Structure 1
Amino acid sequence: MNTRYLSKSAAIAALYVILVALEIPLGTLAFGPVQIRVAEALVLLPLIESAAIPGVFIGCLLANTILTFTSGFGLIDIVGGSLVTLIAAYLTSKMPNKILGVIPPVALNGLIVSIWVAKFTNFPYWPTVGFIALGELIAVGLFGSIVLYAYERIKDRI
């Protein structure tokens, strides 16, 4: 690893945390059974930037640690949610295009994160899966495409 790689990872991590922090005033929109975590748009970046894999993982780890004070999900969300993001980012990096790159974060967050979100919110599991997957699809598919487009335009300058 070189300084440039570490700097990009750190910048992506910081951006993830900032985006989540901006959503905190919106309440459960960033962490409840019905959620659109805009920061998850960054999970599409591993398609073109390998430094995004540790960046989104560390960003999610820090953001989930901060959100623990407002969400009440605790250690399972800090560790589990962050590992889901890490695995989703890695799998996204292996996808051949952005359409398929959306699948890992949508599927993994929908199926796995919903386990504890449903338990802690007393919301049924399958509707939670649907809402989290839909929110992830919006965050990664729509906002992630915008992030990917913007990053591709500036990546040679950073």
Structure 2
Amino acid sequence: MNKKGTRFLTEAAMIAAIYVVLTYMFQPFGFKDIQVRLAEALTILPYFTPAAIPGLFVGCLLGNFLGGAVLLDVICGSLATLVAAIFSYLLRKNKYLVPLPPIILNMLVVPYVLRIGYAITIPIPMMMLTVGIGEVLSCGVLGFLLLKGLDKYKNYIFTNVHKA
């Protein structure tokens, strides 16, 4: 493997590891109908590197699995994160739009996972609201603060950085 490929895999693995650690450490806040998953702040990383796409997917997959999520949550939650990461990467030319895909996709997908996988009987629109609020806090507020902080150092941290 060439140096560029090794760097890509290393970045993806580090992002996955950080996502897993954050999910596991803050597990009481990251699952069920009212959730603020702090690891979701990392969903802004596709702005900086395409390595974040597989990194976030694998991180979410492992974080959900190790956090004791049901199989439906492990699969569907991770796929929602993957799709959101792809859309965030595609929106990277406007940093203000980068946090929107994970907010929207999780707000639409997670309530159904909670209903089917965990038998939570709160009405779907209410769960969309509670999950949406958590996503706005983690992706929109914390994620955007992370984006602003990392933006100053992007050329030192990431390869394949989007040139503004």
- Shared fold per TM-score greater than 0.5: yes
How far, CA to CA, are the matches of 2:13 and 2:58 in structure 1? 8
Once the two structures are superposed, residues 39-85 of structure 1 have per-residue CA deviations (whole angstroms, 9 ceiling, x without a partner) of 011111101211111111000000010122xxxx5111111100000
Once the two structures are superposed, residues 106-142 of structure 1 have per-residue CA deviations (whole angstroms, 9 ceiling, x without a partner) of 1110011110213422222111001111111111111
Paired residue secondary structure (2:126): helix
Tell me what 2:26 maps to: 23
Tell me what 2:74 maps to: 78
How far has the Cα of 1:91 moved from its partner?
Answer: 0.3
Tell me what 1:107 maps to: 104
Count of residues in Structure 1 that have an aligned counterpart in Structure 2: 151
How far has the Cα of 1:16 moved from its partner?
Answer: 0.3
1:130 paired with 2:129, answer: yes
How far, CA to CA, are the matches of 2:94 and 2:38 in structure 1? 21
1:7 paired with 2:7, answer: no
CA contact (8 A) 2:45 2:147 kept: yes
Letter of the 2:148 partner, please give it. Y
Tell me what 1:148 maps to: 147
Tell me which structure has the larger Cα radius of gyration.
2
Q: Percent of aligned positions with the same letter in both sequences? A: 37
Letter of the 2:145 partner, please give it. I
How far has the Cα of 1:6 moved from its partner?
Answer: 0.6
TM-score of the pair, normalised by structure 1 = 0.89
Letter of the 1:106 partner, please give it. I
Q: Please tell me the root mean square deviation across aligned C-alpha atoms, in Å.
A: 1.4
Structure 2, unaligned stretches of length 5 or more?
158-164
Answer 1 or 2: which has greater helix percent.
1
CA contact (8 A) 1:40 1:144 kept: yes
Tell me what 1:38 maps to: 38
How far, CA to CA, are the matches of 1:136 and 1:130 in structure 2? 10
How far, CA to CA, are the matches of 2:57 and 2:107 in structure 1? 17
1:118 paired with 2:115, answer: yes
How far, CA to CA, are the matches of 1:112 and 1:100 in structure 2? 19
CA contact (8 A) 1:118 1:128 kept: no
TM-score of the pair, normalised by structure 2 = 0.86
